[in-house]
Amino acid sequence: MTSTWLITGATSGFGHMVAERALAGGAHVIAVGRRSDRLAELADHAQQGRVTTIPLDITAPGAEQVLADAVRTAGGLDVLVNNAGYGLFGPVEQIDADNARAIFDTNVLANLAVLRAALPALRASRGRVVQISSVNGQSAWASSGLYSASKAAVELASEALAYELAHTGVKVTIVEPGLFATEFATSLQVVLPHEVYAPTVGKFLTDFSALPATAFGDAEKVVDAITAVATMEEPPLRLAVGADAVGRIRESLRSRLAELDRWESFSTGPVGQTV
């Protein structure tokens, strides 16, 4: 039986690559993205009837209903790859309310809207939810504050969702890529720091812009990971992809555990006790 995949952000990066991989495997793909031309290219290279293209800004009013209708028309859903999002980097203080609202609208609220549209059909099929996060969903650094916050929100919502859906057979996996060669690195929005943040945010952005091409992994590895967890009987809740992601997340977790241990007596001892 042909499986049906709903993939958001299917016009570029991981989303486009996963759509191509799913189509090559014989799936029917509901491909969602803002660029009609890229969706048309995807359909042109696929077997007739295998692609349903939906030009859509998932933050738009009514987007949830559009997606729910598409799933209903397709006759069900087996895999959701909730991938759409964008990067915003700069000092926390300097990111204004409009930009902060925009990244949460796209990376968090629209992600939730897609889930609401897809979950009834996924419960019926005992399907798979693949939430695309980032190493920044587990670890922040100077300049990543708002982006990290948006991905951390997705991660914790997804963790709760996995518990809530456990009895239904629906499996949830959060994929956390490190640095990979996609259009993301060239399309992200950057707020340049004021002088006070030059030693931290400024240095990070300068160092990042000087990274050689070899610092960015082969994006096919992320596609391999996404397609693998989408069909595993017992997939992981979280999957870091890339040596840099594994290393950074491990370092962050060790640091947090060390800090927890160091201050445990302060938290659990008598009031006023010092370490």
Of 53, 7, 6, 17, the C-alpha closest to 184 is: 17
How confident is residue 268, by pLDDT bands cut at 50, 70 and 90?
Answer: confident
**DSSP states along 87-125:** -EES-GGGS-HHHHHHHHIIIIIHHHHHHHHHHHHHHHH
Give the residue-averaged pLDDT of 236-240.
98
186 exposure class (CB count in 10 Å sphere: 0-12, 13-18, 19+) = exposed
User: In the structure, what pLDDT confidence band is assigned to residue 194 with cuts at 50, 70 and 90?
Assistant: very high
Tell me what the mean pLDDT of segment 74-88 comes to. 96
Tell me the pLDDT band of 266, cut-offs 50, 70 and 90: confident
Among residues 12, 134, 139, 147, which one is catalytic? 147
Q: How high is the pLDDT of residue 213?
A: 86
Integer-rounded Cα Rg, in Å, for the chain is 20
**Residue of 3, 139, 151, 158 marked catalytic:** 151
Whether pLDDT at 149 is above 80: yes
- Please tell me the predicted confidence (pLDDT) of residue 58: 96
The Cα 129–Cα 120 span in angstroms is 12
The stretch 160-180 carries a mean pLDDT of 97
What is the structure's pLDDT at 185? Answer: 64
Residue whose pair of structure tokens reads 């859903």 in the numeric block: 77
What is the pLDDT, as a whole number, of residue 49? 76
Q: How confident is the prediction for the chain on average, in pLDDT? A: 94
Q: What is the pLDDT of residue 226?
A: 97
Domain ranges of the chain: 4-243
Q: Is the dihedral of CA 240, 244, 247, 248 positive or negative?
A: negative
Paired tokens of 64: 């949830």
Pick the CATH number of 4-243 from 2.40.30.30, 3.30.70.2740, 3.30.70.1230, 3.40.50.720: 3.40.50.720
Q: What is the pLDDT of residues 21-52, one digit of tens each?
A: 999 999 999 999 999 999 998 988 887 779 99
| pLDDT on residue 274 | 55
Per-residue pLDDT at 46: 81
pLDDT at residue 208 greater than cutoff 70: yes
Summarize pLDDT for 99-144 with one digit per residue, the tens: 999 999 999 999 999 999 999 999 999 999 999 999 999 999 999 9
147 is catalytic: yes
pLDDT above 70 coverage of the chain, percent: 97
Annotation says 163 is catalytic: no
Q: Residue 151 catalytic?
A: yes
Smallest Cα–Cα separation from 183: which of 73, 46, 60, 86? 86
* pLDDT value of residue 1: 62
Helix (H, G, I), strand (E, B) or coil at 176: strand
| Residue 271 pLDDT class (50, 70, 90 cuts) | low
